[in-house]
Amino acid sequence: MQQKGWEFVGDNGEFVLENPTMNNYLYFPLVNEAGMMSSITPSLHGNINTGQNSFVTEPLSAIDLHNNKSSRNFWLLIDNHKVWSATGCSSKQETYKFNENKESVRLEAGMLYHKIIRENKNLKIKSEITNFVPITEDKVELMKINIINTGNKTKTINATSAIPLFGRSADNIRDHRHVTSLLNVIKTVEDGIKLTPTLSFDERGHKKNDLRYMVLGRDDLNQPPIGFFPVFEDFIGEGGSLTWPEAIVTDNKYFCKAKEVFEGREAIGALKFKEFELKPNENKSFILAIAVSKKDNSEDFVNKYCNLESFQKHLDTNQKYWNNIINKAKLKSNDSEFDQWMKWITIQPTLRRLYGNSFLPHHDYGRGGRGWRDLWQDSLALLLLDPKPVKDMLFNSFAGVRIDGSNATIIGSKPGEFKADRNGINRVWMDHGVWPFLTTKLYIDRSGDLEFLFKKQSYFRDNQLNRSKKLDEKWNSDNENVLKDNDNKIYYGSLLEHILVQHLSIFFNVGEHNNLKLEGGDWNDGLDMAEDKGESVAFTSLYASNMLDIADLLKDLQDKLNVNSIELAKEMNILLDTFNKKIDYSSPKEKQKLLKRYFTSCETKVSGEKIQVDIKDLILDLERKGKSIIDHIRKNELIKNKKGYEWFNAYYDNDGNKLEGDHPLGVRMTLTGQVFSIMSKVASRKQVKNITASVDNYLKDDKVGGYRLNTNFNEVKLNMGRAYGFAYGEKENGAMFSHMAIMYSNALYKRNFAQNGFEVINSIYNHCKNFEKSRIYPGIPEYIDSKGRGLYHYLTGSASWLLLTMIEEVYGIKGDLGNFKLQPKLVKSQFNKNCNTSIETLFADKKLKIIYHNPNLKSFSHYKIKEIKINNEKIDFKEKNNSALINRNIITELKSKEKHIIEVLLN
């Protein structure tokens, strides 16, 4: 069937999609800060949970959306014999699927609600079902079912909900699913059913369960159900199923009343409502609450949510809440569809903060919590939207750094809570150390809070020592996860010291080709089989440019705060070799030897003694280190192949061989190597030009929305990682992996290749909005597969980088040590017919609308900022590298809380 795509219908990303059920794997997020995490599909399948160990409904992977019959079903028995699922989930309605004339379905969705309208033309009945998770302290999803008689005869209707409850840990799907059902105690209460398993089952130690999983409901006259079918097997009946349940199709009258108890059975939220009559055009509604609670408070939930008025009130609050988040950055370009699409991008970093990398159907891994790398990168976007809470989050997260430069991998939901690798594996991702500095730098640039660097924080300590190469046998898991000194006191160092530890120590951790070791992997999680000889040239260059940027930041500390010396742990003196006797940086052996010395000095604890180092010497040390890396990469890692293409090699495999270049099985090239050589300025301007030509030739593929992560190596490279076991074109093996592609765009913008940068974003956008190909709702997915479908929607770091790139690079709204900087890199097509384009965003807590006016439609390389007016008054600015620098005071002194208009003339 020809599929028409979604269309935006409002100003806050609202969209409609006809026939959404004619697509597989579509899902939509419903979530709140209290910890309710749901996903919902057009047929109302999807997960509902509050964590790994508290799945309200059965945990699902993407395939289960079409392979499993559990859903939020709502049955009608019309005139005693016509069975109809208001959600389309009946065996009969399945058969309508490829027949357009039987039932029409339409989705209407927005921030963050999901409404499905289904109409059966034969039965002349229509349902409108709205789901959302209210913005309250409660872990609850609400669902309103409105039934409309579209015929011209009165109907008699019996309505029953059917929402199977799982009520236990996701692990129990394949760890005693049946035995754990024996723990179930199901009670019927006046308004619904309540499942309270006796224990939370875990063979490592069973715990008393204290959660109640509930399905509660009332009708629009505030009447509770008349009865229940709380036991799954009784509801479906012998020979029946969830899509043809005996209780419904035979109109079973043996339902039970409130206050009954059933033990040791699988549960279902089957609430039977009083029979009602619907005249033509009349409607009747039901409101359900699917809740998890530690308290025995089903009545509170019903009173608070299960009536029409409060449902609407909470729905309104919900929309306001999410709209407020997305409108903290608002684009008005020449393409209003793009601007609406960006609203879904804007919400994505918040979604990942709430879901982590788990709990949506494709994200069928992880156990909650957030990964180190993702936390720091998602904070980039969160900093742009709402910097206040992010400052504390950054500060707390620094406590995850180990003194050896590595870090705890999973961050829990409470401040400063860290967890070891989810699989208990001792491994280090070598890229982890680069991200905290990038995010901290953005925070400082936008706030001017240089003092932040001097805040004291502890270090993480567990049984992993020396970048996980050694385990502390004496470590006891009851120990606090903090590094102590000789006096057994918690050791604290400045955040700057943490950042320096991360860069100075890894500098010496090189492989035989003098690039940083790949260790357990880098940004690419799939490169996990080259621990011995693997090297990541790509991230070596990013560490190098960080070192140079840290050196620049130290110069700012000198200038702005008159800092002359920096306090560091005494042991770090070893890493500052240029102070005493500089080792030979071309010798990997010498580097490793020095690193060993450092590790020995602080293996299990530190002395607690501090040294004061001269800031000038520290700057020199960092510059020498950074430059030595850049020279090394320029000299040794540039590839020129037989066809004359030029690019940078990103990796060495576990046999110590260069990964990229001409190869008998086909040319080998990665996007990663190009992104970071461009971003870190390893590549000269001329080389950037050549690299883009190579990328266009080897990696660009319009079928998948742009730039692939790598060419086809045609080999399961066991000496590189699991990624090359994936089919080519999927995930980390050559998909259009949005995160890397967006970072490519960001790098190009940074080097002033605005047109090229724009094309990367534009091609992804055009692909995503082409619903027939991408089959996803608005937003950016983690990747586009070989057939063009978007996968792992919503929870992806690419959203954060896209927002960052749009605000900081494209519209050029930046901070410069607290001052306000404008450096737009807009291309002609982004201006409207009046030659304007604008963005609304926050800076220094002020709401600003920046309107760029480009009367002669000059291209980025030709225009300059000629004049700036704030609220109609011309202001002074300093020109700096083709940008305008505006004193922070000018912004902070703006009085009103309303939006301020900044008009910028480009000519």
Q: Which range touches ligand G1P (CB under 6 A), out of 11-19, 23-31, 181-189, 518-526? A: 518-526
- How many residues touch ligand G1P under the rule CB under 6 A: the total is 14
* Residue 796 touches ligand G1P, criterion: CB under 6 A: yes
Select from 535, 782, 809, 840 the one that contacts ligand G1P (CB under 6 A).
782
Contact 430, 539 (CB under 8 A): yes
Q: Beta strands 900-906 and 846-853: pairing type?
A: parallel
Other beta carbons less than 10 A from residue 222's beta carbon: 12
* Residue 785 touches ligand G1P, criterion: CB under 6 A: no
**3-state SS class at 823:** coil
Select from 357, 407, 457, 540 the one that contacts ligand G1P (CB under 6 A).
357
* Residue 707 touches ligand G1P, criterion: CB under 6 A: no
Contact 293, 211 (CB under 8 A): yes
Q: Which range touches ligand G1P (CB under 6 A), out of 160-168, 517-525, 692-700, 867-875? A: 517-525
Q: Which ranges of 806-870 does DSSP label H, i.e. alpha helix?
A: none
User: Residues with Cβ < 8 Å from 664, sequence gap 6 or more?
Assistant: none
* Residue 359 touches ligand G1P, criterion: CB under 6 A: no
Nearest distance in Å: CB 429, ligand G1P: 8
* Residue 721 touches ligand G1P, criterion: CB under 6 A: no
* Residue 432 touches ligand G1P, criterion: CB under 6 A: no
Other beta carbons less than 10 A from residue 78's beta carbon: 21
Select from 144, 272, 353, 373 the one that contacts ligand G1P (CB under 6 A).
373
* Residue 115 touches ligand G1P, criterion: CB under 6 A: no
Question: For 79, phi and psi rounded to 5 degrees?
Answer: 50, 40
Nearest distance in Å: CB 779, ligand G1P: 12
Q: Which range touches ligand G1P (CB under 6 A), out of 12-20, 171-179, 393-401, 793-801? A: 793-801
DSSP assignments along 678-696, one per residue: HHTT-S-HHHHHHHHHHHH
Select from 234, 374, 445, 809 the one that contacts ligand G1P (CB under 6 A).
374
Spatial separation of the C-alpha atoms in residues 897 and 907, rounded to whole Å: 31
Nearest distance in Å: CB 198, ligand G1P: 37
Pick from 541, 555, 451: which is nearest to 496 by CA?
Answer: 451
Pick from 647, 676, 637, 627: which is nearest to 522 by CA?
Answer: 676
* Residue 797 touches ligand G1P, criterion: CB under 6 A: yes
Kindly tell me which of 267 and 438 has the beta carbon lying closer to ligand G1P: 438
Spatial separation of the C-alpha atoms in residues 301 and 310, rounded to whole Å: 11
Annotate 330-353 with b (16+ C-beta within 10 A) or e (fewer). bbebbbeebbbbbbbbbbbbbbbb
* Residue 378 touches ligand G1P, criterion: CB under 6 A: no
Per CB under 6 A, contacts with ligand G1P among 739-758 are: 739
Question: For 305, phi and psi rounded to 5 degrees?
Answer: -120, -30
Per DSSP, what are the bridge partners of residue 327?
A: none
Kindly tell me which of 653 and 732 has the beta carbon lying closer to ligand G1P: 732
* Residue 407 touches ligand G1P, criterion: CB under 6 A: no
* Residue 841 touches ligand G1P, criterion: CB under 6 A: no
Nearest distance in Å: CB 365, ligand G1P: 10
Pick from 609, 542, 517, 623: which is nearest to 576 by CA?
Answer: 623
Nearest distance in Å: CB 739, ligand G1P: 3
* Residue 525 touches ligand G1P, criterion: CB under 6 A: yes
Nearest distance in Å: CB 377, ligand G1P: 8
Nearest distance in Å: CB 799, ligand G1P: 8
Annotate 584-601 with b (16+ C-beta within 10 A) or e (fewer). ebeebebbbebbeebbeb
Select from 120, 524, 674, 823 the one that contacts ligand G1P (CB under 6 A).
524
Contact 793, 355 (CB under 8 A): no
- CA–chain centroid gap for 439, Å, is 16
* Residue 798 touches ligand G1P, criterion: CB under 6 A: yes
* Residue 705 touches ligand G1P, criterion: CB under 6 A: no
Kindly tell me which of 201 and 344 has the beta carbon lying closer to ligand G1P: 344
Q: Which range touches ligand G1P (CB under 6 A), out of 177-185, 367-375, 643-651, 868-876? A: 367-375
Question: For 38, phi and psi rounded to 5 degrees?
Answer: -125, 160
Nearest distance in Å: CB 763, ligand G1P: 17
Q: Which range touches ligand G1P (CB under 6 A), out of 135-143, 208-216, 439-447, 794-802? A: 794-802
E-assigned strands of 225-323? Answer: 227-228, 261-263, 267-269, 271-272, 276-278, 283-293
Helix (H) or strand (E) holding 48: strand 48-49
Nearest distance in Å: CB 372, ligand G1P: 9
* Residue 397 touches ligand G1P, criterion: CB under 6 A: no
Annotate 34-71 with b (16+ C-beta within 10 A) or e (fewer). bbbbbbbbbbbbbbbbbbbbbbbbbbbebebbeeebbb
* Residue 172 touches ligand G1P, criterion: CB under 6 A: no
Kindly tell me which of 525 and 646 has the beta carbon lying closer to ligand G1P: 525
Nearest distance in Å: CB 47, ligand G1P: 19
The DSSP symbol for 818 reads T
Select from 371, 721, 734, 757 the one that contacts ligand G1P (CB under 6 A).
371
Annotate 458-488 with b (16+ C-beta within 10 A) or e (fewer). bbbbbbbbbbbbeeeeeeeeeeebbbbbeee
Pick from 631, 633, 625, 640: which is nearest to 536 by CA?
Answer: 633
* Residue 523 touches ligand G1P, criterion: CB under 6 A: yes
* Residue 710 touches ligand G1P, criterion: CB under 6 A: no
Nearest distance in Å: CB 373, ligand G1P: 5
Binding residues for ligand G1P, rule: CB under 6 A, are 357, 371, 373-374, 523-526, 732, 739, 782, 796-798
